[in-house]
Structure 1
Amino acid sequence: MKLVIRADASTTMGTGHVMRCLALAQVWQDQGGKAIFVLANKSSSLENRLISEGIQVVYLLVATGSHDDVNQTVDFAQKFNAQWIVVDGYHFGTKYQKDIKDFGIKLLVFDDYGHAEHYYADLVLNQNISAHKDLYQSREIYTQLLLGTDYVLLRREFWQWQNLQREINPIARKILVTLGGSDPDNVTFKVIQALNRLNRDDLEVIVVIGGSNPHCEILQKLIADSSLVISLQQNVSNMPEVMAWADLAIAAGGATSWELAFMGLPSLVFTIADNQKAIAAELDRQSVIINLGWHKDVTVVQIGSVLQELISDLRKRETMSKKGRELVDGNGARRVVSEMTSMLA
């Protein structure tokens, strides 16, 4: 079984599309298949991560989402003798899907909010809590839908934590800050400022940033001037261990929300992209997270106030942890690959 994955990452886009596709590729390869990633933008850190998984990486030389993009992607798939193409990105719309299907290759499309006018894919995967079939009324008769958190994709490093028995401490002293792979607006800076304003000497903080974060030096200076114990870590490969260590997280919406839910880690969540708003609102409604709202609208004082309250609210954090664990069981990638392989039979 061979799989071609077409996804992109950048400073503005972040790395979430590629990383959730990696989770799918890991299960595919564990079941004896091979995967190749087709990317538009070169990123040494991402490329090294994929290669370390035994995944081949190739790059496009054309405009993303264009007909030439389709042709090069299909060309790679045909040379690779791939049975499936997976695409993840909002620039892969109706025409892109139809053009791929015209070549007769099975197609899976990741989606988060019904971004295409019409769907030609064999499978549409929307792993979000807000996913519903009404988003996909305009689709081909053969198009099947994989909707909801049963299909949340978690990378291999999370699988061993399925039976985690998290202890919820009376005071949340260990805090994880993770605002995405790139954090172009430097929300991390604002969060550290809020932590500094708490006037507490009993906190330990780990700040995780991605390889494409352009603000590393600024953050290092802010941390050096802080009275708190803050560790700045880049390109972390043991994220589940860091989440298991923490009592509380401050995070960006998106794929990280599912990882935090699976790990039972109570979290305050910013939305940093429009497609995250409905998801964060529903997770807040179900008491899985506290939704801080749009990152540019939240002040340092507001962050500090909500954080100070949650640090001491044991019952609230117990509820958040329990509901998160109930929502995401860690088997989503296996379910998706099972659907894909059954369609090849």
Structure 2
Amino acid sequence: MRVLFRADASIARGSGHIMRCLTLAKALQQRGAVCDFACRVESGHLIAWLQQQGFNVISLISEPLNEEHESQLLLAALQHDYRLLIVDHYQLTATFCQLLRQRCQYVMVIDDLANRALDCELLLDQNLLPDQHLRYQGLIPAHCRTLLGPKFALLRDEFYSASATPLANHLLISFGGSDADNLTSMAINALVMLKPRGITADIVIGANNPWRAMLQRQLANLPDVQLHIQTTSMATLMRKARLMLGAGGTTHWERSICGLPGLVVTVAENQQATTAYLNKLGACVWLGQAAEMSAEFFAEQLCYYLSQPALLDEIGRRAKNLVPDNAGTPLVVEQILNVVANR
């Protein structure tokens, strides 16, 4: 089975779409699929990195005039027919999917927004919302199979096998791959304020983070803080931490399966609804939006929650209950194989 993924990464949009598609591609690859990516060349793209992972990438250079033109550009670049097209892109709608059916037999869409018409046999939205079973009414075909909620979260293999013992006063800090708002720098300044308290930390950034050199300079005098770039050990780092400070998105479900309590800053509008709901459920603490943050506020919040071990245990327990240990990526792969086999 040949599968085509259409997703992008950039400094502005981050790397989340590519990362979750890569997780799914590797899982499908293990089941015998041949997976290609089609990605636009823009500042902060991860095309070379995907190629280093062993995947063929169709680089889309020309800027499309509209969605129909986008479809034409990709169709002209394809050298194969595909059994399945997987689209993870907020700007692409039913129009794009319908036109790509010339070369792609089935279509799957990965989405978070539920704000546009989609043409697909399979829809994945791993967010947790009180109205999640109603959000796509009128937006997808009647025959579309829906995979809704963190039961279908796209988590890498490491999250099903990693183990580590949490360390007292040890933090994990990660604001996504690109961290366009440079919240990581703000968090480092908070750690400087908390240095007398003996707090240690791991900090994770992506390969396309534009602030990398600045962050390395900031950390030069913090020997108890380690910087990780495009790490493949996120699960181990999560299980090692007592508390996480970071963004929403897929990180919610990575953190949840590890039972790691989190202080969450929403860095994109599409993260707000799920983060607010998880905060209401007591499965994380929503600190607010990126523009509202400061180093002083981070320091205050970290100091308070690290002093409340019983509260952290309860937040971690509630988060852990959201993502079944035996679900996620393997379950999504089984659903895909059933659809393309007409089962």
* TM-score with structure 2 setting the length: 0.90
1:255 is the counterpart of 2:250: yes
Mean CA deviation greater in 253-262 or 332-341: 332-341
Show CA shifts across 1:163-204 (max 9, x none).
x4x6566xx411111111001110111111122222534111
Paired residue for 1:185, among 181, 188, 194? 181
| 3-state SS of paired residue (2:292) | coil
Structure 1 residues 337, 199: closer, same or farther in 2, change over 3 A?
closer
Structure 2 CA distance for aligned equivalents of residues 154 and 314 of structure 1: 27
Displacement, 1:280?
A: 0.8
Letter in 2 for 1:240: A
Tell me the distance in 1 between the aligned counterparts of 2:203 and 2:300.
19
Q: Which residue number corresponds to residue 7 of structure 2?
A: 7
Selected match of 1:325 from 306, 320, 324: 320
Give the corresponding residue for 1:143: 144
1:109 and 2:125 aligned: no
**Alignment partner, residue 17 of structure 2:** 17
Partner of 1:291: 286
Matched, 1:125 2:124: yes
Inter-CA distance 189–176: structure 2 relative to 1 (3 Å threshold): same
Letter in 2 for 1:242: L
Determine which of 226, 235, 244 is the counterpart of 2:230.
235
Contact 1:45 1:211 in 2 (8 A): no
1:210 lines up with 2:206 in the alignment:
yes
Partner of 2:340: 344
Q: Counterparts of 1:104 and 1:15 in 2: how far apart (Å)? A: 25
Query: Per-residue deviation at 1:241?
Result: 1.9
Q: Structure 1: how far apart are the matches of 2:119 and 2:280? A: 33
Q: Output the CA distance in 2 between the equivalents of 1:49 and 1:313.
A: 40
- Structure 1: 5+ residue stretches without partners: none
Match of 2:171 in 1: 175
Aligned-partner residue type, residue 232 of structure 2? S
Q: Secondary structure at the match of 2:36?
A: strand
Q: Secondary structure at the match of 1:200?
A: helix
Secondary structure of the 1:208 match is: strand
CA distance in 2, matches of 1:145, 1:185: 33
Amino acid in structure 1 at the alignment position of 2:273:
A
- Asked whether the equivalents of residues 165 and 240 of structure 2 are also in contact (C-alpha less than 8 Å), the reply is no
Pairs within 5 Å for 1:145-160: 145-160=146-161
Q: Indicate the percent of aligned positions where both proteins have the same amino acid.
A: 29
Q: 1:287 to 1:200 in 2, by over 3 A?
A: farther
C-alpha displacement of 1:343 = 1.8
Assess, with a 3 A threshold, how the Cα gap between structure 1 residues 104 and 188 changes in structure 2: closer, same or farther.
closer
Instruction: Specify every segment of 5 or more residues in structure 2 that has no aligned partner in the other structure, as ranges.
Output: none
Quote how far apart the aligned CAs of 1:44 are.
9.0
Residues 103, 234 of structure 1: alpha-carbon distance in 2 compared, 3 angstrom cutoff: closer
The residue that corresponds to 1:70 in the other structure is 71
Q: 1:104 and 1:193, CA in 2 relative to 1: closer, same or farther beyond 3 A? A: closer
Aligned equivalents of 2:333, 2:77: Cα separation in 1: 21
Question: How far off its partner does 1:328 sit?
Answer: 1.5
Distance 1:218 1:225, change over 3 A: same
The amino acid that maps onto 1:304 is A
Contact 1:252 1:270 in 2 (8 A): yes
Aligned length: 337
User: 2:41 touches 2:61 (CA, 8 Å); kept in 1?
Assistant: no
Deviation at 1:114? 0.6
Aligned counterpart, 2:310? 315
Range moving further from structure 2, 334-343 or 28-37: 334-343
Could you tell me the TM-score, scaled by structure 1's length? 0.90
Question: Per-residue CA shift, 1:205-242, capped at 9, x if unaligned?
Answer: 2211111111122222222245x622222222222222
Q: What secondary structure is seen at the aligned counterpart in 2 of 1:21?
A: helix
